[in-house]
Amino acid sequence: MNISYIKKYAVIGIAIIIYSVIPNVSYSDTSYPNFTEVVEKNIPAVVIVHAKKTISNSPSMNPNIPDLPDEFKPFFDKFFDEEQNAPRGSRKAPSFGSGFILTNDGYIMTNNHVISNADEIMVTLSDQTELSAKLVGSDKRSDLALLKVDASNLPTVKIGTSDDLKLGEWVLAIGSPFGFDHTVTAGIVSGKKRNLPNESYVPYIQTDVAINPGNSGGPLFNLDGDVVGVNAQIYTRSGGFMGVSFAIPAETLSSVYKQLKNDGKVKRGWLGVYIQEVDKDLAVSFGLDKPRGAVVAKILDKSPAQKSGLKQGDVILAFNNIDINKSKDLPLLVGVTEVDKSIRVKILRNKSIIYKNVVIEELPEDSEIATMREKSVDNKMVSGLTVSDIDEKTKKNLNIYGGVKVDKISAQQLNNSKIQINDVITHINNNPIFNVKDFEKKIKSLKENTLANLLVYRNSSPVYLAIKISK
């Protein structure tokens, strides 16, 4: 038999076999997911929130926008130039955002910044019905607010969970950007448990869903049609949407909703410490195998931390059996802890592991859960410092027992250190410094080219500096 004939039909046979085992994939199977079912089901439960506020005409950000870090502001300033050029005085100004119906008797969730300081709140339903809304309660720290309208048999959303969200998972938003009601935008989950500047209470969901003014307070859905977040903020450097938006997770929403509905306010746990990040040099100086945990830079008087025996210089490694990988993890965990609950805290103290039980108290209105201080500073040398004893007034102002003030820094030190003139050094490797003689003694006892940590008061705030000893 002709060999080429056999080869020809053998190849054809193999091709037929391969074709038979490969699934019949059409273009529709590999295209974007179909959102229509989710949208049609949930649009009736998404509302427009109108708030009228008495504002000053002096140059400012639009009242619909929350207090944001500087890098957020250029985006919003672009849209409100006319307001900044308006005559001075006070006037009634409308602001708007989005919201969604939680119960068929009219409980509605939105962002706090949408309705903050509002004199009048109106809600527009999907069928264009307008209803007057009452503010049940609001929580500035989570930027959530609960409204109530007098109605019945309203369509509602289903609250899901954000814990199961995966990076790359499809999500969609429904809201009213720039007043275009019930606008649908979609994207993917870009990150989870994001901490934004000046935000310590919400582990934000990051997405690339298009969010603009008017979307605030609207729901973020997964493909099952469950609410997994509340759209709240964007990040931009250009003045427009750049593919980075943030949503408050469903777990925070559920907790805040229950408390606002029942009590009209939100209770949070309070530890009462100032903390800072552990960098690689501080990790070495504290005896850690890698950067982790939160350094206690200061303990507030009469706080739960003080009552439980926590000390300045402790490194908190775990809270309620949950590891603290970054210092930013601690405020989130403390904040959601039940008030009056005893929590086990894992601590590194003087290079030894100990445990403390802390009874968490309610966060005072004017306080912080666990306040982040400035990041650690990388210092290379400690020689070349001229120091002096501190006076009694300084001790009283800083609430310390002793220390030394940096009066002069050599040229070499200035080039290699972040230590500053007027810094007050109170501890070296968690050992207290009471005066100049004590400072010199402690420095001499340290091994050359080793890392040590100094507790420094700068502008009345404590910060740990990791420094390299050079003699």
Question: What average pLDDT does range 407-414 have in this prediction?
Answer: 68
Question: What 8-state DSSP symbol labels residue 375?
Answer: P
Catalytic residue among 216, 245, 255, 308: 216
**Fold observed for domain 269-372:** Pdz3 Domain (2.30.42)
Confidence band for 90, pLDDT divided at 50, 70 and 90: low
Q: Which CATH number is associated with domain 33-264? A: 2.40.10.120
Locate CATH 2.40.10.120 in the chain.
33-264
- Separation of alpha carbons 227 and 257, rounded Å: 13
Q: Quick one: what percent of the chain has pLDDT higher than 90?
A: 50
Given this model, what pLDDT does residue 149 score? 97
- Separation of alpha carbons 193 and 207, rounded Å: 12
Confidence band for 413, pLDDT divided at 50, 70 and 90: low
pLDDT at 379 over 80: no
DSSP string, 231-265: EEEE--SSSS--S-EEEEEHHHHHHHHHHHHHHSS
The predicted-structure confidence for 114-149, as pLDDT tens digits, reads as follows 999 899 999 999 999 999 999 999 999 999 999 999
Bridge partners for 190 per DSSP: none
Lowest mean pLDDT segment, chosen from 147-161, 176-190, 357-371: 357-371
Residue predicted with more confidence, 200 or 125: 125
pLDDT at 46 over 60: yes
The predicted-structure confidence for 168-194, as pLDDT tens digits, reads as follows 999 999 999 988 999 999 999 999 988
**445: helix, strand or coil:** helix
CB 213 within 8 A of CB 177: yes
Question: What average pLDDT does range 391-420 have in this prediction?
Answer: 78
Residue predicted with more confidence, 311 or 421: 311
Given this model, what pLDDT does residue 71 score? 40
- Residue 216 appears among annotated catalytic residues: yes
pLDDT at 56 over 90: no
Lowest mean pLDDT segment, chosen from 7-11, 34-38, 293-297: 7-11
* Bridge pairing between strands 377-378 and 461-468: parallel
- Residue 113 appears among annotated catalytic residues: yes
pTM of the model: 0.69
Q: Quick one: what percent of the chain has pLDDT higher than 70?
A: 77
Locate CATH 2.30.42.10 in the chain.
269-372, 377-468
Given this model, what pLDDT does residue 380 score? 40
Given this model, what pLDDT does residue 18 score? 44
Question: What average pLDDT does range 295-310 have in this prediction?
Answer: 93
Confidence band for 343, pLDDT divided at 50, 70 and 90: very high
pLDDT at 29 over 80: no
Query: Would you state the torsion angle of the CA atoms of residues 381, 383, 386, 392, taken in this order, to the nearest 10 degrees?
Result: 70
**CA Rg value for the chain:** 29
Count the neighbouring beta carbons within 10 Å of the beta carbon of residue 191.
Answer: 12
80-83: long-range pairs with CB below 8 Å, 24+: 83/57
Burial (CB count within 10 angstroms: exposed 0-12, middle 13-18, buried 19+), residue 261: middle
Q: Does domain 377-468 have CATH number 3.40.50.300?
A: no
Residue predicted with more confidence, 83 or 7: 7
User: Closest by alpha carbon to 202, among 255, 278, 134?
Assistant: 255
- Separation of alpha carbons 459 and 401, rounded Å: 17
CB 99 within 8 A of CB 49: yes
Lowest mean pLDDT segment, chosen from 169-173, 200-204, 347-351: 200-204
Given this model, what pLDDT does residue 421 score? 86
pLDDT at 383 over 50: yes
Confidence band for 13, pLDDT divided at 50, 70 and 90: low
Count the neighbouring beta carbons within 10 Å of the beta carbon of residue 307.
Answer: 13
Question: Could you give the angle at the alpha carbon of 280 between the alpha carbons of 274 and 282, nearest 5°?
Answer: 45
- Separation of alpha carbons 25 and 279, rounded Å: 50
What's at 120, amino acid-wise?
Answer: E
Given this model, what pLDDT does residue 386 score? 82
Instruction: Give the CA distances from residue 231 to residues 46, 198, 347, in Å, rounded to whole numbers and listed in that order.
Output: 13, 18, 36
pLDDT at 452 over 90: no
239: left (phi over 0), alpha (psi -120 to 50) or beta: left
- Separation of alpha carbons 211 and 241, rounded Å: 7
Lowest mean pLDDT segment, chosen from 165-169, 178-182, 240-244: 240-244
Catalytic residue among 116, 138, 142, 143: 143
Question: What average pLDDT does range 52-71 have in this prediction?
Answer: 53
Confidence band for 396, pLDDT divided at 50, 70 and 90: confident
- Residue 26 appears among annotated catalytic residues: no
Given this model, what pLDDT does residue 198 score? 67
Given this model, what pLDDT does residue 328 score? 87
Catalytic residue among 113, 162, 181, 285: 113
